[in-house]
Chain A
Amino acid sequence: MAEKRKSMIKIKPKKYKVGDIVKVDFIVIHPMDTGMKKDKKTGEIKPAHYIDSIKFSFDGKPFTTMKVWESVSTNPYFSVKYKVTGKGKITVDYTDNQGEKNSKSKKLKPKG
């Protein structure tokens, strides 16, 4: 049931050291249907389908949680800042209102 979604985590800037503040961008391909739009082919109203919660964590420790509603655009993009404390893995877990659960992770490799 769980559809595999395309998602991406970007760390900006590309080169960073311990103690730097980096931007963590998370982008996911998701329709974010509001439950008000009609399907162009069948003419039926599409049911609401949107991401409702997101959790950013570093090595299992959550540092940012979000509650999201359907007013966020299709293929949403979320960006927060994070202070690099050392080597580790940033994981983003997200669920949508139809119970789909996914996660994406990226390694943090500070230099110097």
Chain B
Amino acid sequence: MSPAPEGRAPDWRPTAPLENLRRRAELLTATRDFFARRGVLEVETPLLAHAPVPDLHLDSFEVTTGLGESLWLQTSPEYAMKRLLAASSGPIFQLSKAFRQGEAGRRHNPEFTLLEWYRPGFDHHALMDEMDAYLAAALPEIEPAERRTYTEAFEDAVGLDPHEATVGDLAAAGRAEALDAPDDLDRDGWLHLLLAQVVEPQLGRVDGDALRPTYLYDFPASQAALARIRTDPGRPPVAERFEVFVEGVELANGFHELTDAGEQRQRFEHELEARRAAGKSQVPLDERFLAALGAGLPDCAGVALGFDRLTMLAVGSDEITEVIAFPTARA
């Protein structure tokens, strides 16, 4: 046995109080009970995958296998779960670890826990109804959410139509809010920054003792990710996507899922092009996922919820390190 290095003893204790870890365990049980009662099947999919997500803003951990190939730690179980759906699994849920490089902060840990579930036959509105029921089962003090379109919330908080405003309009609004951002920030960059810094803090505010979440839905089409895009007559196209905010914190992100394999491949190519332009690594596309879409993904909606953040809400904490026994800095 090698002697311990000189100096202070290493921090071996958990950063989370044990009572928070007990609350976390209760939430895991409540989650499994909730989906069992509703006939949603618990599944497990690989953490190590042959292809990472190509999203410009998500960086996967690449790992060596000792078998002469690289694999990637998943950033969410989305592709694998959709392969199960395409194989006629019916409704499914998963509690799994996910990994994202460079994401560390008060509400981020590079290794975190996602609750993700899919509902064939649901659209994003039906899934928001189920989200209300799930949150009520998990957090006794929570009320049904208020629902607002991205456009309404953005107009209220920023005073601009997010579909029509130019990058110059957005930058001027940002600077008026004392957001001093890089000069070459693009339109979507400004939308992200304004949403995160100006709109979100006002969403899902505490109303007396009650927690009242806000569901923001129908996002700009440029931020569709894996959601389908809808065009209503006389309106700009919107992505059928929703996000859940509680006390200004992003808790979950859901889609009325894109099922068109051709369009999915185009979006992937677009992300790869954006990665190239940003000087980021090129990554292989998940051909098994694309093949599953080609074979037929049922019409469905799905959502991923940050389980650590849910636990933070349950225990009233503002630090992710208070709900994870050993965050990455102490792993």
Q: Do A and B bind each other?
A: no
